[in-house]
Amino acid sequence: MKIQVFNSEGGAAGDFDLRDDFVIKGGRGKQAVQDAVTALLANRRSGTASTKTMGEVAGSGKKPWKQKGTGRARAGSFASPIWRGGGVVFGPKPRDWSLTVTKKVRHLALQKALSDRLTAGDVVVVDTIKLAGPKTKDFVAIAKKLRVADRSALFVVDAADKNLRLASRNVAGVELTDPLSVNVYDVLRYRKIVFTKPAFEKVEQRLAKG
C-alpha cells in the first residue's frame, strides 16, 4: 500500500510503501481496540473518591435521647445515615481501577485503529514540520495548508523541537505527541492525524515488533 507524502506547504512530496500486512481488514482487532481503550481510560482514574461510614463520622457515640417516653422516633446515634451529617451507606471508597492488557493486544489495537483511519482517509503524512520561531500563527498556517486547521488534530512528530511545541500548545483541539507515546485512544479521538514521515515509519517499526 502506498501512502502519499505532503510537504509543509500542502504540496506533493512523493510517497512511501507501507508493508502489505500493516492494514487490517475485516473484524480482526475490534475486541483488542475495545479492551485497550477501556484499560487506558480505567488507568487514568484516580480512584480517590471517598465517603465516611457511620463509624468514621466525627461526633459522640452518645444516644441522642432515651429510648422511650419522649414521643419521638427511636434513635441510637448522631451518625445515623438517615440524619444530616451522618454516615453514608455503601458510598465510594478509594480503590484501584487499573486494568492490564498485554503488549500484543495494545499493538494489535493501535494497528487496527490506524488501519481504519487510513482507510477512511483521516491520516495525513508530511515529510517534515519545521518552524523558524515559536509562533502560533506559523503553526496554524501549516495546519491550514494541510487542511486540518478547522478541526481537531493529532500531530505525531519524530522529534518535537521547542518552537513546534510552544507554537502548538495554545491551538484548541490540537495535541502533539511522538511515535513511542501515541496510543489507540489518541488515534480514535481526533478527527485528523498528521504524521511526519519519520514518525510514521517508527510507528510501523514499533508495531512490527509485536
Residue ranges per domain, the chain? 2-45+98-208, 48-96
- The mean pLDDT of 199-206, rounded to a whole number, is 92
- The mean pLDDT of 95-106, rounded to a whole number, is 95
Report d(CA 154, CA 207) in Å as an integer.
19
Report d(CA 47, CA 43) in Å as an integer.
9
Which candidate, 10, 198, 32, places its Cα nearest to that of 115? Answer: 32
- pTM of the entire predicted model: 0.83
- The mean pLDDT of 14-33, rounded to a whole number, is 89
Could you tell me where the beta strands, DSSP code E, fall in the chain?
2-6, 12-17, 123-126, 153-156, 174-177, 192-196
Q: What is the pLDDT of residue 43?
A: 96
Q: What is the pLDDT of residue 210?
A: 60
- What is the assigned CATH class of domain 2-45+98-208? alpha beta
pLDDT in tens, 149-175: 777 999 999 877 899 999 999 899 999
pLDDT in tens, 41-60: 999 999 999 999 999 999 88
Percent of the chain whose pLDDT exceeds 90 = 77
pLDDT at 132 exceeding the cut of 70: yes
pLDDT at 120 exceeding the cut of 80: yes
Report d(CA 156, CA 192) in Å as an integer.
11
Average per-residue pLDDT for the chain = 92
Question: How would you class 114 by CB atoms within 10 Å of its CB: exposed for 0-12, middle for 13-18, buried for 19 or more?
Answer: buried
Element at 40 (helix H, strand E): helix 30-43
